Structure 1
Amino acid sequence: MNTKAVYAAGGGIAVAAVVIFFVLGANPSPSPSPSVSPSANNNNSSTTASAGSILPPVVNVKNVTATKVDNSHANVQVTFTVKNPNNSTLVLETIHYNVNVDGLHMTIGDVGQSAQGFLDSQGNLFPIVSGSTLTAKDTQVVERTGAIANAWDKMVAGSAHYSIDGTYSYRVTGATMQTTAEDRDFKLTFP
């Protein structure tokens, strides 16, 4: 095997390890801050992790808009905010969600993509620095059918009340270098 190829492969692995180290937020001496448990509906935006604890991100719906394309199709855009209450960088992998109006399922969508291994693409992962908030959007097309006609009409008229539920996946490495990777359910309303 070519010696240059071996050095290049080793160098590539070393660079990838350093990038992952910084993306996962190695913070050997985080400053202590008060510990507050997140509320059950994830609406507590002042939650901060203490030096040794790891908290889940705080997920909320910032906005839902429906734009009529024609008499039978509408673009529905859901805008999420995801706050990192930890003292180290958190990596949001995915938000998988369902949009409902008046108890009727309107659409389903995904933000991001789960990493499947060390060499998997990191392009659809979202690092969130300690204490900061990420805004993530996704748009889906909803077709007007007889079963959801009234709810669809409310959406495009701007008078719908939405129920958004689903699952989000994240990873975070704490001060003890222990990484937590978790999937959590959520259920939110808008407005």
Structure 2
Amino acid sequence: MNPRIPVIGVVGAFAVVILIIAYSGTSVIDDTSGEARLGSSSGTVIEPLVIDLDEIIIKDVDERTAYVEIAFKVTNPNYKSVILEMIRYNVYEDGMKIGTKSIGDRAAPGGLVSASNYFTILSDRPSIIKDDFTIKNDGNIPELWKALENDTPQWRVSGEAYYNLSSMTAGGENEITFEFTR
């Protein structure tokens, strides 16, 4: 008997087992906790991201324009990395809405990311995500401009963030809302 026949049979059996596991949706390591297990990953629940307002700084103010920088600190409590698709936020000063902006892009319908304008949030350290916005002085709200010039605004920032697991095969699309005052 040819000694290659048993070796080819064993290799073929391993290939069949690997294909069965790959196409059945079974995973050996939990996507979020890192614990070893054998089961389907379709019901994976991921822990929500933790979003904090790191800082909001008035960079420059003149008689017509104010330049402001905002930074969010995003922490991932999950074992695996998470794709942060977009942060959409509203900025208020003393109860008056200044504007709405977004950082990143939402995934296309069906969960596919069509652009590369997203952030990978690792599990071992927080990420700081910054954005800039401009406030125009139309002369109708002198109280706002005085607060900006004196660096004494009463900021409130609210919004939502959209994220999913980096594997995009488990955990689904997720959303978290936030609100901060400063």
**TM-score past 0.5 threshold:** yes
Identity of counterpart residues, as a percentage? 25
Give the letter for the 1:118 counterpart.
L
1:87-166 paired onto structure 2 within 5 Å: 87-116=79-108, 118=112, 120-121=114-115, 123-166=116-159
Give the letter for the 2:64 counterpart.
S
- Point out where structure 2 has 5 or more consecutive residues left out of the alignment: 1-26, 36-43
**1:28 to 2:29 alignment:** yes
Give the letter for the 1:188 counterpart.
F
Contact 2:83 2:120 in 1 (8 A): yes
Question: Can you list the C-alpha shifts for 1:79-124, whole angstroms capped at 9, x where unaligned?
Answer: 1111001111111011111111110111221111112263612x21
TM (normalized to structure 1)? 0.66
**1:78 to 2:70 alignment:** yes
User: Rg larger in 1 or in 2?
Assistant: 2
Contact 2:46 2:171 in 1 (8 A): no
Give the letter for the 1:81 counterpart.
K
Question: Can you list the C-alpha shifts for 1:36-77, whole angstroms capped at 9, x where unaligned?
Answer: xxxxxxxxxxxxxxxx75211001111111133530101111
Query: 2:141 is paired with a residue of what secondary structure?
Result: helix
TM (normalized to structure 2)? 0.69
Task: Rate the CA distance shift 1:106–1:115 in 2: closer, same or farther, 3 A.
Answer: same
Query: 2:58 is paired with a residue of what secondary structure?
Result: strand
Distance in 1 separating the partners of 2:70 and 2:165: 25
Give the letter for the 2:132 counterpart.
T
How many aligned residue pairs are there?
143
- Point out where structure 1 has 5 or more consecutive residues left out of the alignment: 1-25, 33-51
- What is the root-mean-square deviation of aligned Cα atoms in Å? 2.4
Give the letter for the 1:104 counterpart.
M
